[in-house]
Every structure is written in C-alpha cells, then in structure tokens.
C-alpha cells in the first residue's frame, strides 16, 4: 500500500496541525514497513517537520511549495497523486482538494469556523464561507473522516446529517511522554511571582478576556498576588485582551508573550502554578496534554472537547463565569494536597494519549478506506 500524506501545512512556528503531523509521522512508519509513505513537505527552510521522519526506509519525501490552505491545492494535488501512483491520500485538514480521484482520509480538528461566526474577523468570515463549502465537500467525498474528539464527531454529524456515522473514526491527538523535560535556569523569560499559564493563539474563542476578568477577581476577592502569563501569537487585529488588562489596571500582573518555541515552552509549563484553558470552543485542546505531561494541575472549560481530554485530572469551569474560573484556580493554588492529587492524576491520564496509539488507529482507518484500492 502506498499512502501519500499531505504535510505542507507543517510550518516552522509550530501550531496544532503541525504538532499533529509531527506526532503522527514520528510513529506511523514504524508500525508496518510494508506500507510505503510519501510525505508532501514544504521546502526545508519553511517546513516544521523534523529531519528524522525521512530516515525511515518506507518514507519518501516530495517537496510541495504551497503555503497554507490555498486554492492552488485543488489544481495541483489531483495530478500529483496520479503521478505518485498513490493508493490513498491523507489530507490533515477539513478542506480536501477538489477533483481528487484517489481515495482520501480527511482529518477534521474542529468546526469553529462553521458554528461560531461571532469569534471571526471580517477576513475570517470569508474563510468561514470557504470552510463550510469545503467541509460539505470533504464529508461527502472522503472515504473516511478522522475526528480528533467525540465532540468534533458530534459537530460533524450536526453540520452534515451524515447518513453513515461510522464513516467517522474518533482518533484523539497524542503526546510524546518520552519527550525530555528540560530543567535549569537558562530561561530567556523569567517571571518572579507564581503565575497562571495560558498557552494558545490569542483568538476570541479562547476566552482570554474571561481569564483576565478571573485574575481581577483573584486580586480583589481572594487577595492573591499571582500573575498571569499568556503565551501565544496574536491574532489579526484582535487586541481586546491587551485593552482589558489596561482597563482593569492589571498590566503589571499580566505578561503577554508572543510565539514561544518548544524548548522555552517547556520551562513555562515547568514553572507554572496552574495551567488554564477557559475556551468557549476547542476541537481537542493540546495545552491540556502538555500541562499533564508536566504534572501540572489544569483548569479547563466544561464545554466542547475539553471534558473528554481532562477527565478527572483537572477542574472544570463554566467559561462564561469569571467568578467560577477564579474560584477553581484559587482552590488549586491555595491547597497543596489538591495540587498533588491532580498532579498524580495528570501523570496517569496523559498515558492514555500516546502518538503510538494515534498512529495505530490512523493506520486502521487507512486500511478501511484504501483496502479496495490495493
């Protein structure tokens, strides 16, 4: 079986899709060396894929200079897949290229562009229209669909009224539990006080404003001197979190950090008191797994995919209620016993999310989708 995996979305500044591709491709070739993979990758200077992925004997590389989701993919991919004589094609996003005759597996991470227009910029509203049309086509045309959570599967079914729900396989994201946790004092950003950590792009659906309001409650009602570190790229012209921090007089207690490379992100997790992800919507929630890897207590929203990921290894909150968020944070930072209990649960919980298992379930999906074509 020859499978082409489209990894041209894997970029240097690692995002969720890039992390997914790195984790999957690090394990997939190990399972069955009779399966040949061709990975479509950006030019080396732009790609976020590590070199070792191409050291596997059953992996070939094909350079595809196509940045981000692009209309060009609809014209380039059909001919390329035919040229490569692919038995199957894996597209790791919702927008499966048109005109592809090769059996295709599509990974759908979330449907925020479909269900939550209120969180989109004007430019993104055009993207929402593109997403809706692309998703409809992908659901109708793909041989199989991978949903990264049960919530994402439910959203797909709600959006599409798909007659055969078993066309969708739920395959959770994973994490590398053997990844070295760097320690030491060589950190370029050092925060003197204890801090709450938020990791993620500063987008409206992440509910950073709710977290900032919760910090204000912690200061005023709980007399806490804890700080907040917000680590992630800014988004479009969305400046509400920065403006709110100034309006509430919290600019000295809140540290906005732009994109953080993995080696530095390790230290931020390692030194955090608690990790909080109060999102209104998540397809999965990578920062929850990363926090668990570092044995950190987690406070997360009680909506969409997050309860699936958190399990009993964290405290869940109502995202629209800053008082609830503040209360759950305070429960953790003021109670050493609870911190230790959640840390132990996190250590066990994260073992359920391994890339090896993700790769095995993905290969099984390939076999279901492509077996008639081999």
d(Cα 324, Cα 143) in Å, to the nearest integer?
43
Query: Residue 347: in which H helix or E strand, if any?
Result: helix 336-349
Domains located in the chain, CATH noted: 2-174+354-373 (3.40.50.2000), 195-352 (3.40.50.2000)
- Can you state the angle between helices 262-271 and 286-293, rounded to 10 degrees? 70
Question: Which candidate, 225, 198, 213, 192, places its Cα nearest to that of 334?
Answer: 225
Cβ contacts of 295 within 8 Å, gap of 6 or more: 343, 344, 346, 347
pLDDT at 163: 79
pLDDT at 186: 45
d(Cα 256, Cα 254) in Å, to the nearest integer?
6
Cα distances (Å, whole numbers) of residue 263 to 172, 196, 351: 24, 19, 22
- What is the DSSP-derived secondary structure letter of residue 53? G
- Can you state the angle between helices 336-349 and 322-333, rounded to 10 degrees? 100
In this structure, the number of other CB atoms found within 10 A of the CB of residue 340 comes to 12
pLDDT at 179: 53
Burial track 287-319 (b if 16+ CB lie within 10 A, e otherwise): bbbbbbbbbbbbbbbebbbbbbbbeebbbbbeb
pTM, rounded to two decimals: 0.92
pLDDT at 190: 55
pLDDT at 96: 94
Mean pLDDT by 10 residues, the chain (374 residues): 96 89 97 97 94 97 87 92 97 94 96 78 69 91 97 95 92 82 50 90 93 98 97 85 97 91 87 96 95 96 98 97 98 98 96 96 98 70
In this structure, the number of other CB atoms found within 10 A of the CB of residue 183 comes to 10
d(Cα 285, Cα 345) in Å, to the nearest integer?
18
């Amino acid at each position: 079986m020859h499978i082409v995996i489209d990894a041209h979305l894997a970029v240097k500044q690692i995002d969720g899709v890039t992390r997914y591709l790195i984790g999957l491709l690090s394990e997939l070739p190990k399972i069955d060396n009779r399966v040949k993979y061709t990975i479509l990758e950006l030019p080396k200077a732009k790609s976020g894929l590590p070199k070792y992925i191409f050291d596997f004997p059953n992996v070939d590389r094909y350079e595809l200079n196509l940045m981000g989701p692009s209309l060009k993919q609809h014209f380039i991919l059909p001919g390329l897949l035919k040229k490569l004589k692919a038995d199957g094609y894996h597209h790791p996003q919702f927008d499966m290229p048109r005109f592809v005759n090769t059996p295709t597996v599509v990974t759908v991470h979330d449907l925020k562009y479909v269900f939550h227009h209120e969180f989109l910029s004007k430019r993104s509203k055009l993207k929402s229209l593109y997403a809706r049309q692309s998703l409809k086509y992908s659901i109708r045309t793909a041989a199989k669909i991978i949903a990264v959570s049960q919530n994402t599967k439910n959203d797909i079914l709600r959006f599409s009224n798909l007659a055969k729900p078993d066309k969708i396989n739920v395959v959770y994201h994973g994490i590398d539990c053997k990844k070295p946790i760097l320690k030491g004092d060589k950190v370029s950003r050092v925060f003197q006080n204890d801090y709450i950590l938020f990791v993620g792009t500063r987008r409206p659906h992440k509910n950073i404003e709710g977290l900032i309001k919760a910090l204000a409650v912690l200061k005023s009602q709980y007399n806490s001197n804890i700080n907040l570190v917000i680590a992630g790229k800014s988004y479009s012209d969305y400046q509400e979190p920065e403006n709110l921090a100034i309006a509430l007089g919290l600019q000295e207690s809140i540290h906005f950090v732009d994109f953080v490379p993995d080696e530095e992100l390790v230290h931020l997790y390692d030194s955090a008191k608690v990790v909080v992800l109060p999102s209104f919507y998540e397809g999965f929630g990578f920062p929850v797994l990363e926090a668990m890897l570092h044995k950190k207590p987690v406070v997360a929203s009680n909506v969409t995919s997050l309860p699936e990921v958190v399990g009993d290894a964290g405290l869940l909150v109502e995202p629209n209620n800053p008082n609830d968020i503040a209360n759950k944070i305070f429960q953790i930072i003021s109670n050493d016993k609870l911190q230790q209990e959640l840390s132990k649960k996190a250590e066990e919980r994260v073992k359920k999310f391994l890339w090896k298992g993700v790769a095995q379930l993905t290969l099984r999906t390939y076999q279901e989708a492509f077996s008639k074509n081999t």
